[in-house]
Structure 1
Amino acid sequence: MYQPRQASRSEFVPLRNLTYHVRVWGEPGPGKVPLVMVHGWMDVSASWQFVVDALRHDHYVLAPDWRGYGLTESPQADSYWFPDYLADLDFLLDHYSPDAPVHLVGHSMGGNVAMLYAGVRPARIRRLVNLEGFGMPASRPQQAPRRYAQWMDELKALHRGELELKPYPSADGVAQRLTKTNRRLAPDKAQWLATHWARPGADGQWRILGDAAHKIVNAQLYRVDEVLELYRCITAPTLCLEAGDDSLSLWWKGRYTLAQYHERIRAVPQLRQGRIEDAGHMLHHDQPAAVAQHIENFLA
């Protein structure tokens, strides 16, 4: 099994009526800018371990489990709303760095949160790094009736128990699931990550540490015009990293393309772009050393 080079510790923070789990590497100190790393959909904070191990310099790293993931509590609700992630991050920064801006790194869904948050609270972000936080295909108002109906139908499916996450007989089964999804993930890393990505229940079955309600579609449409306005408000120098593999073509089959994403991020005032070769969407797993080098060079 993979052996971390830098041990993390867990801190539990009361935040918006939830107990939030935050994984911490390193110690705060004079001149140290907190490096906040936020994970993606159906992931956990431990996912950053491989990048943290590849960092060459001493950092104070904070990585929360989003609400309903990992060791953070789930809200008393049956669906999740994207603005809550922005508010959770705002409260989290109030706790850890109330008087100084932070470096913010986000992957996938976390990258989308990071980009929007940096436009809402530009003074709180010193440097911004987005790893494949592409956003969503543009929507049309005509989609609203069907989208609301889909949301309500999926809520009913959740309450009927039809959206439960698949259990696995062992940590090995979870590791196999991870390597099946990501062919580049080394077996030793998959074994280590499996023990943080899932936990055994009373019946001995291993279950992913993610609320099944995360699978429910967002009731509200994705408004590209609003997103672009937020991008224009970002004042932090911004690095957008993408993998050599084109995940968007695989996911959206032409409904949303890398060219459209590149056009959107041109709205960011201080933009730098980078590419990680021999990597897929989980680029921080596939090439952690390259991702760490890009991040540190950018922060410097």
Structure 2
Amino acid sequence: MNQPVYTPLKPSRTRSLDVRGLRYQLREWGDPDDPLLLFLHGHRDTSNTFQFMIDAMAGRWHVVAPDWRGHGGSAWAPQGYWYQDYLADLDTIVGIVSPQAPLDIVAHSLGGNLATVYAGIRPARVRTVVSIDGFALRDTPAELAPEKLRKWLDSWRATPRERTYASVAEMAERLMTANARLTTDKAMFLASHLARAVDGGFAFGFDPTHRRPFPTLHRIDEWAASWREAEARILWIAAGNRFERMERDGDGNFNWRLAQLRHGSSVQIPDTGHNIQHDAPDVLARVVEDFLTAK
């Protein structure tokens, strides 16, 4: 039986960009004459993740959203994936889509973490940032470095295995298992854009190399040093279910992190998981547009 598939109210279009020698896919919604927004998706996702939220937005916007290297319709990087490469790609994309004017950025998870750091590295290029459930990772103690490097070296002995699915509908079922809030039609829409044809079936549309562990330590003080340089207004939007488990106080925890932003604020959207753009797109759209249009 055919499963219902969500029909976008605002269809998108795509074009290709050359970003530091890699072919990038850039997805666009809206009229190029409307105010520009740059949307950035998270790890092991694609630009289509924002479709439900964009359909719910009341204003007229020209939204541009790349698929990160190794994701969706963008090319894979055979040397692997490094946080600094994403930052350099972002810097290049900003120069292409808005050569002069500072940008408004709306970003999820990995994208939100990149956007808040970028706002401090290039303060003149970013006007506002909305980070959707992206608050940076926990600090990594130095003594864990040998084990992290060991696991990373070991991971290069073989290509990471990936699960294959018999159909897009089976992939949609997997998405709904991971997120009970997803309706069948939205899960089918997401799965149809995440699916990558492989021998005998489908796999999720990202380079399986992304499954390798990172060899680098995450140092929250380094991220915070960049946050403190940001001139942009920054809004952190927290997923309700995850926020309830966050440590609020203490060095490196949520309130400490928020205090590192000169013009930072936060809001929580109840009854949502990490993918707020799927769980409460109407509420998220209203919060984002209110923030972007505030004087």
TM class by shorter-chain length?
over 0.9
1:186 to 178, 183, 188: 183
Q: CA deviation at 1:186?
A: 1.1
Structure 1: state its 5+ residue gaps: 250-255
SS in 2 for 1:23: strand
Task: After superposition, give the CA deviation of every residue in 1:220-256 in whole Å (9 maximum; x if it has no partner).
Answer: 101111111001011101111011102684xxxxxx7
1:166 to 163, 170, 187: 163
Please say if residues 247 and 280 of structure 1, whose CA atoms lie closer than 8 Å, have aligned partners that are also in contact: no
SS in 2 for 1:227: helix
Aligned partner letter, 2:181: R
Q: CA deviation at 1:67?
A: 0.3
1:51 to 53, 63, 87: 53
2-side partners of 1:96 and 1:238: how far apart? 21
2-side partners of 1:61 and 1:178: how far apart? 25
2-side partners of 1:57 and 1:285: how far apart? 19
Aligned partner letter, 1:197: L
2:283 to 287, 290, 294: 290
In the alignment of these two chains, the number of paired residues is 286
Q: CA deviation at 1:164?
A: 2.0
Please say if residues 148 and 220 of structure 1, whose CA atoms lie closer than 8 Å, have aligned partners that are also in contact: yes
- Are 1:24 and 2:28 counterparts? yes
Aligned partner letter, 2:68: W
2-side partners of 1:187 and 1:243: how far apart? 22
Please say if residues 258 and 265 of structure 2, whose CA atoms lie closer than 8 Å, have aligned partners that are also in contact: no
1-side partners of 2:151 and 2:142: how far apart? 15
SS in 1 for 2:241: coil
TM-score, scaled relative to structure 2: 0.93
TM-score, scaled relative to structure 1: 0.92
2:268 to 255, 263, 275: 275
1:241 to 237, 243, 251: 237
Please say if residues 135 and 236 of structure 2, whose CA atoms lie closer than 8 Å, have aligned partners that are also in contact: no
Task: After superposition, give the CA deviation of every residue in 1:152-209 in whole Å (9 maximum; x if it has no partner).
Answer: 11222xx2x4x222110001011001101111011110011110011323x3401111
Please say if residues 35 and 60 of structure 2, whose CA atoms lie closer than 8 Å, have aligned partners that are also in contact: no
Q: After TM superposition, list the pairs within 5 Å mapping 1:83-122 onto structure 2.
A: 83-122=84-123
The more displaced of 218-227 and 286-295 is 218-227
2-side partners of 1:18 and 1:40: how far apart? 19
- Are 1:199 and 2:196 counterparts? yes
What stretches of structure 1 move > 3 A for 4+ residues in a row? 256-259
Identity of aligned residues (%): 36
2-side partners of 1:45 and 1:144: how far apart? 33
2-side partners of 1:280 and 1:258: how far apart? 18
2-side partners of 1:122 and 1:214: how far apart? 29
The more displaced of 139-148 and 38-47 is 139-148
- Are 1:4 and 2:44 counterparts? no
- Are 1:217 and 2:219 counterparts? no
